[in-house]
Structure 1
Amino acid sequence: MKIIILGAGQVGGTLAENLVGEKNEITVVDCDTSCLRELQDRFDLQVVEGYGSHPDVLEKAGAEDADMLIAVTSSDEINMTACQVAYSLFHTPTKIARIRSPNYLKYKEKLFQSQDVPVDYLIAPEQLVTNYIRRLVECPGALQVMEFADGKASLVAVKAYYGGSLVGHALSTLREHMPHIDTRVAAIFRRGRPIRPQGTTIIEADDEVFFIADTKHIRTVMSELQRLEKTYQKIIIVGGGNVGLGLAQALEKSHPSVKLIERNPQRAEYVASELAKATVFCGDASDQELLSEENVEQTDLFIAVTDDDEANIMSAMLAKRMGAAKVMVLIQRGAYVDLVQGGDIDIAISPQQATISSLLTHVRRGDIVNVYSLRRGAAEAIEAIAHGDSSTSKVVGRMISEIKLPPGTTIGAVVRGEEVLIAHDDTRIEQDDHVILFLVDKKYITDVERLFEPSPFFFF
């Protein structure tokens, strides 16, 4: 596939890194020569210097025969204009734009149409990050929560702790502990390296365990791997930007005490006017006196989501030292995420990974309806819809044991209508099933895509 990426920043660069090894022809456009040079030195791709919305720049980037344009510059206006130019002059089949401003998103249903602003798929980073954090808040103790099939099934990452009833035992004992609940461990990462889960695999303390189950059973399964955390009652959010405000609006409906700290007086006043129950304070979250006044030592969850990585880290570390039970931070720089998570910082959240996951959903071939980028892009969780029949599909009509899965790939579950079926060797895939797969090595993604592309010429 020939793909043009506009923007060589953190999102554009990470996206290029994810796609360049998958037999795609990638061209990155940006005005920053140093960013382009760095990408070209690291990856096998083309670069073009210039404004991505200018017709001559798009032409130089190969827009005339490009399959897809992905506009992820820091400017909503440049992203929208580039999609318009690609549509009007070059008839680019698929156009994706990152749009951040709520003023545009408020009218997205009317605005982003072919006859108006021709954007095929809209990526709203702040909304994606807000939803990502909300899922973590709703599932205390989880490191990641990924929903599939409209929330019917969930893939959850947890850290196995000493004291968990499964630690020190083989995976085959999972059914003994929970005879009435079906679940499957899709992957285990031990000291950063993937371990293929088998019945004889012994779960060790500090293992990062990814399991899949019917969403309504998630909490029960988590209790087998770690001490089950109570539902968060008292929450402090730091930062009144789009993410902080959206998060406060989502959480104030279901949590008894939500406080938000914003240092800008004008923004604090605006945020307060947009919230119904949450309390807004104007001040610096790294001010020990302010945190003490707001009883941070009684806080169940402290979430720092300003646009300043250092401020987020420092305020969260201070809150943890002062007694906050759990802290989460939003970190823009991907290199920081692994550095800080697991010490004083319980969970570090990368907005780039949330954005990349949404972008990959639209880039993948076959009927891929959900993609989650995991472990800094090294692994992926995918939801694919099975189409065709036994004569045109490599999966439909076959038991999982008969499907030739690429190395390191496991099928975790199948969602059929309203029913969540945990995958076993004798589970047979039917037409229109939503199949949830986990790849510990994403270099095989092309092979997975081919599995779910029905062909009239395929014969088993």
Structure 2
Amino acid sequence: MKVVILGAGRRGCALAEYLIGENADVVMIDNDMRKIEKVKDKIDCIAIFGNGNDMTVLTDAGVEDADFFVALTDRDEVNLISCAIVGSEFGIRNTVSCVKNIAYTSKGGLKNNLFGIGFIVNPEEEAASNICNAIERGLYSSIITFEGSDLALYNIEVDDLSALKGKTLMEIRRDADESFIIASILRNGKAMVPSGQTAIRANDMVSIVVGEGDANKIFRKLGFSRPRPKRIVFQGLNQISDYILSSLSPDTRKNIVLIDKDKTVCEEFSRKYNNNIVLNANLMNDDIIEEENLADYDLFVALEDSDELNTIIAHFAKKKGIRHSIALCKREDGSALKALDIDLVISATESTVVSLYKLFQTQSNISSVHTIFGGEIEVDEIMITENSAVRGKRLKDIDVRQKAIVAGVRKSDESSFIPNGSYLLEAGDTLLVLISSNRKKEIKNSFTA
């Protein structure tokens, strides 16, 4: 597979590295020579200096024989026009455009296949969806759900009071009344796929796969429970705020206080969401927390256009008494903010890259892919076919120890469960597999060959 990527920023480079790891041929284009030189130094691909709407540059990049063209610059119009040119002039059907403006992609906006664009991905919409997910399911460091299944993956930090501390995975599975599995661990910045003898330590970040209906009950027993926030504050009213509000259930939405320093914006949101309290204020400069009794609220969500401001006010809100906080991070990957006292950093960049991973994985029998722990662990949904080498084998007979864990199975009738080692793999099964990124080729080949 050959992929041409326009835009050598954080998103483009992350996608290029992923595709190269999947044996794709990648060509990158950017009109910033510093980015091109950085790509040449760090990524094993062809890097070309130039503009994505320049026919000569596109020809030099070999667009005419590309399987995909992906436009990921910071300018929506450049991405849209470049995809249109590639679609019309080179006949490439698989074009992907990154579009940041939610107005383009919301109801009534641009549609896939318009102007030769095969697929549109919106960083802000992806991030907004993740914020909705956190509000509806609870403030865990991240939650991954799987289509057609009630299984979900939660990343949770172990503290000194957790019932898991000091126990091995074998002891945890033996003593558990309910079905769940610890599928990966982040310890001192390094991710691992554990074995049955691995003991859980304080400050470990563990990935727990569990049925969503059982999650709260299990997490309460383990000392992890974070109930869904009921009373919420948003600061920063914009397209992302609007998308989140319109996506939440009415019962959740009615308990959200909306804050913005722009009076006109407040009036607009007040008309649209007339059941909500809308305050024309600035959390940092006004005594709004005391005046409106916001200190005992459950959650503060920082949605301003500035990553730096979101970091500051999310931290400030917790210092003032609001129990939890979320900061939206539009331009960076958010990793630098996770050391602060902020419960959840939602990165538009990371959300977009995950969405792009999924798109490319649909070209195989690996139907979906996520990454966690900075990309050190990959989470795949792999379908077992009649020709799969592992069909008819029991899980315990497949040697993937400390390289991967099969954490869930979805049957063809869409029932799903967490298997034990005696489970016999059948054609039509879709496996939820967590894989160490440095072993992903080996593991994927063992399941799909």
CA distance in 2, matches of 1:264, 1:373: 38
Following superposition, the deviation at residue 323 of structure 1 comes to: 0.7
- Show the counterpart of 1:322: 320
Following superposition, the deviation at residue 452 of structure 1 comes to: 5.3
Cα deviation, 1:13-65, whole Å, max 9, x if unaligned, reads: 33223334443322211222222222222222222222213332211111022
Show the 5 A alignment for 1:33-72: 33-72=33-72
CA distance in 2, matches of 1:154, 1:87: 38
- Show the counterpart of 1:249: 246
SS in 2 for 1:286: coil
Following superposition, the deviation at residue 7 of structure 1 comes to: 1.4
1:252–1:278: 8 Å Cα contact kept in structure 2? no
1:286–1:311: 8 Å Cα contact kept in structure 2? no
* RMSD of aligned residue pairs (Cα, Å): 2.5
Q: 1:245 to 1:37 in 2, by over 3 A?
A: same
The one-letter code of the counterpart of 1:316 is: A
Q: 1:224 to 1:121 in 2, by over 3 A?
A: farther
Q: 1:182 to 1:266 in 2, by over 3 A?
A: same
- Show the counterpart of 1:207: 204
- Show the counterpart of 1:430: 426
CA distance in 1, matches of 2:2, 2:287: 55
Following superposition, the deviation at residue 141 of structure 1 comes to: 4.2
Cα deviation, 1:213-263, whole Å, max 9, x if unaligned, reads: 222112223224334233311111122222222223334623252012222
1:400 aligns with 2:398: no
Q: 1:291 to 1:109 in 2, by over 3 A?
A: closer
CA distance in 2, matches of 1:294, 1:45: 55
CA distance in 1, matches of 2:443, 2:88: 34
Q: 1:151 to 1:60 in 2, by over 3 A?
A: same
Q: 1:196 to 1:10 in 2, by over 3 A?
A: closer
The one-letter code of the counterpart of 1:283 is: A
1:167–1:225: 8 Å Cα contact kept in structure 2? no
Correspondence for 1:233 among 230, 233, 243:
230
2:395–2:420: 8 Å Cα contact kept in structure 1? yes
The one-letter code of the counterpart of 2:30 is: D
Following superposition, the deviation at residue 379 of structure 1 comes to: 2.0
Correspondence for 2:181 among 161, 171, 184:
184
The one-letter code of the counterpart of 2:428 is: D
SS in 2 for 1:137: helix
Q: 1:316 to 1:266 in 2, by over 3 A?
A: same
- Show the counterpart of 1:129: 127
What TM-score, normalized to structure 2?
0.91
Which piece of structure 1 moves more, 300-309 or 236-245?
Answer: 236-245
CA distance in 1, matches of 2:35, 2:53: 18
- Show the counterpart of 2:374: 376
- Show the counterpart of 1:349: 346
- Show the counterpart of 2:416: 420
SS in 1 for 2:355: helix
CA distance in 1, matches of 2:94, 2:299: 41
SS in 2 for 1:73: coil
The one-letter code of the counterpart of 1:60 is: D
Correspondence for 2:158 among 154, 157, 160:
160
1:353–1:376: 8 Å Cα contact kept in structure 2? no
The one-letter code of the counterpart of 1:284 is: N
2:232–2:256: 8 Å Cα contact kept in structure 1? yes
SS in 2 for 1:437: strand
Q: 1:383 to 1:271 in 2, by over 3 A?
A: farther
Which piece of structure 1 moves more, 303-312 or 100-109?
Answer: 100-109
2:93–2:116: 8 Å Cα contact kept in structure 1? no
Following superposition, the deviation at residue 297 of structure 1 comes to: 1.2
The one-letter code of the counterpart of 1:234 is: R
- Show the counterpart of 1:263: 261
SS in 2 for 1:436: strand
- Show the counterpart of 1:457: none
What TM-score, normalized to structure 1?
0.89
2:298–2:322: 8 Å Cα contact kept in structure 1? yes
CA distance in 2, matches of 1:395, 1:267: 58
CA distance in 2, matches of 1:9, 1:221: 41
2:191–2:377: 8 Å Cα contact kept in structure 1? no
2:149–2:414: 8 Å Cα contact kept in structure 1? no
SS in 2 for 1:298: coil
Correspondence for 2:171 among 167, 173, 177:
173
Q: 1:195 to 1:368 in 2, by over 3 A?
A: closer
The one-letter code of the counterpart of 2:366 is: I
Residue ranges of structure 2 left out of the alignment (5+ in a row):
none
1:21–1:443: 8 Å Cα contact kept in structure 2? no
CA distance in 2, matches of 1:274, 1:16: 41
Large movers: runs of 4+ above 6 Å: none
1:414–1:436: 8 Å Cα contact kept in structure 2? yes
CA distance in 2, matches of 1:344, 1:153: 29
- Show the counterpart of 1:446: 441
CA distance in 1, matches of 2:100, 2:329: 17
2:301–2:314: 8 Å Cα contact kept in structure 1? yes
